[in-house]
Amino acid sequence: RRNAFLNCFGGDKSYMFRSLRNLVFAGVLPIDAIRCGYNYGISFGLLGVESYAFRDADRFIEKTGGFARDLCGYGTVLYDYYRLDSIQNYKITLDGKDLDGGYVSLYVANGPCYGYKMSTIRDASPDDGLLDLYLIRHVPRLQLLRMAYDFIRGSYEKWGAYISHFTGRSLSVSSGEIMCVCIDGEIFYDNSIDFEIMPYAVDFVCPDGAELSVSGCDHAAGKAAG
């Protein structure tokens, strides 16, 4: 299974978290959490085409036994973009500011890493007490591949005509249509949902030598108590 949060430590550091000895003698790293209704996550929330893509990618991955995992992930975004009526109208309030409109996807980030081996949002940090909201408008199909390539590599700024970035602590989203919501890979459906950042709500067990290594995230774990 993919683990977006471990990718925040840079490279393939997941082996450090598979050692029982490392974890027993580990320190803790206080990180924020996302509350989404009765659900909680530490990495991201999605609404729109990309949430459907997460749902469909999991189905394809299960059928193929994990074969071509990257291809399943990227391919289903494009598949759902072309298959679905991609624009959905949302009523959006972020810290009292109205951002209503028609969007292809809404991406709520608590950290820079998203999905399987993607590092898309380099200015989002899991310990800054903020939600990073990215609103993605309809992209002409001829430009979709180019934008997707830049987006998953953290170069979304050049697509400012289609992607808007905001930060805040409390977010409300509703729609006249059913919304597909994805929180850290888990899917559910609703007409309205609230997101809230919970600063330092989680003490993440972090082995010695593992540090958040992405831009804006340079904190090492503290020493374990006792």
- Give the pLDDT confidence of 202-212 residue by residue, as tens digits: 998 888 877 77
Q: What amino acid is encoded at 55 in this protein?
A: R
Helix (H) or strand (E) holding 196: strand 186-206
Quote the CA–CA distance of 161 and 152 in Å, as a whole number.
17
Mean pLDDT (the chain) is 79
Percent of all residues in the chain with a pLDDT value above 70, rounded to a whole number: 73
**Which range scores top for mean pLDDT: 104-113, 157-166, 168-177, 206-215?**
168-177
For residues 152 and 95, which has the higher predicted lDDT (pLDDT)?
95
Reference 208, options 32, 43, 29, 5; nearest CA is 29
Write down the pLDDT at residue 216: 40
Place 59 in a pLDDT band, splitting at 50, 70 and 90: low
pLDDT > 90 fraction of the chain, expressed in percent and rounded: 35
Contact residues for 72 (Cβ-Cβ < 8 A; gap 6+): 57, 60, 61, 64
The residue that leads in pLDDT, 30 or 19, is: 30
**Cβ contact 108:132 at 8 Å:** yes
Our measurement of the distance from residue 1's CA atom to the centroid of its chain's CA atoms, rounded to an integer in Å, reads: 15
pLDDT for the residue numbered 1: 43
Residues listed for the chain: 226
Q: Are 154 and 41 in contact (CB under 8 A)?
A: no
Please classify residue 4 by burial: count the beta carbons closer than 10 Å to its beta carbon, then call 0-12 exposed, 13-18 middle and 19+ buried. buried
As a whole number of angstroms, the distance between CA 141 and CA 82 comes to: 8
Decide which of 93 and 142 is more confident. Answer: 93
Confidence band of 68 (pLDDT split at 50, 70, 90): very low
Q: Which helix (H) or strand (E) holds 49?
A: helix 49-64
DSSP 9: G
Q: How far apart are CA 188 and CA 99, in angstroms?
A: 23
22 membership: H or E segment, kind and range: helix 20-24
Per mean pLDDT, which range of 64-78, 146-160, 200-214 is the poorest?
Answer: 64-78
Model pTM greater than 0.85? no
